Amino acid sequence: MTDIAQREVAQQLQALEEMLLDPAVRRDSARVAALLDEGFIEYGSSGRVWTRTAILDLLAHEEGYAEPPVVRDFACRPLAMGVVLATYRTVRMDSGPGKAREVLRSSIWVRGAQGWRILFHQGTSVAWS
């Protein structure tokens, strides 16, 4: 993949990752389902393992956050033709004054006939600051 193509893929995947962090999108099962591969699995920052069906149900009823977290340090690494590892950090201000929660995130995206779809995601809590 050329440097230009790699930057374009990184921009596309960052936009998709940010979309999946948006509370309005997260509650729209059809929009989320279009971005999750049929074999999707997530290792959540809570330590729980989520299947595609379970995460769609969870997100459809999710409450609590009005704003998406801030995405930092977004990077992509090609793993194979049409397979990319995306890594980044999210920072979310919490209810306590000046409290922020940071999570390291990684996703494997696969490009197929339906475009880019996420196959695997993991969130690892870093710290409260």
- For 94, left (φ over 0), alpha (ψ -120 to 50), or beta? beta
For the chain, what is the mean pLDDT?
91
pLDDT tens across 37-92, in order? 999 999 988 889 999 999 999 998 887 767 889 999 999 999 999 999 999 999 98
Could you give the number of structural domains in the chain?
A: 1
**CA distance to 18, 48, 61, 94, 118, per residue, from 14 (Å):** 6, 24, 24, 23, 12
Q: What is the CATH number for 89?
A: 3.10.450.50
- For residue 52, the enclosing domain spans 3-128
Question: Residue 96's pLDDT band (boundaries 50, 70, 90)?
Answer: low
| pLDDT for 99 | 76
| pLDDT for 37 | 97
